[in-house]
Amino acid sequence: MERRSSFTTPKKTLGVVIDLDQREKFFEQLKRFANAHDFDIHIGPTTPAGDTFNIYMSRKDVILIANNPFHPRGYDIAFYDKDPAIPVSEEVIDSLMSDLKRFISEVPNVTINEEK
């Protein structure tokens, strides 16, 4: 059975807070980031009310998972190795995180905090 990255500790995590009326702009920027870095991306609501979301991005070496289960405005974006047996370099993660921040910073009134 293949090991899943979701069972490992994230390499890095970003905390993001957005205005609810900027959610679509936030999702648009995530899609632009995914396209720029060859990630497949899925964004879907986690409840029928559509106020919380799961965001999953993956490519050959890295997985990003973002959720907002406790607050509709706040997202935790975690970076994982796709295969824990083949860890990605810190330089790759740092570069991706830096560029993700750049894309997200284009969302009006966004707050970004590096958590780990």
DSSP 8-state code for residue 58: E
- Judged against a pLDDT cut of 50, whether residue 1 lies above it is answered with no
Does the global pTM surpass 0.85?
yes
Q: Which domain holds residue 16?
A: 5-114
> How many Å apart are CA 59 and CA 10, to the nearest integer?
16
pLDDT digits (tens, 9 = 90+) for 76-111: 999 999 999 999 999 999 999 999 999 999 999 999
What is the total count of domains within the chain?
1
CATH number at residue 71: 3.30.160.110
Find, among 12, 10, 33, the residue nearest to 107 by Cα: 33
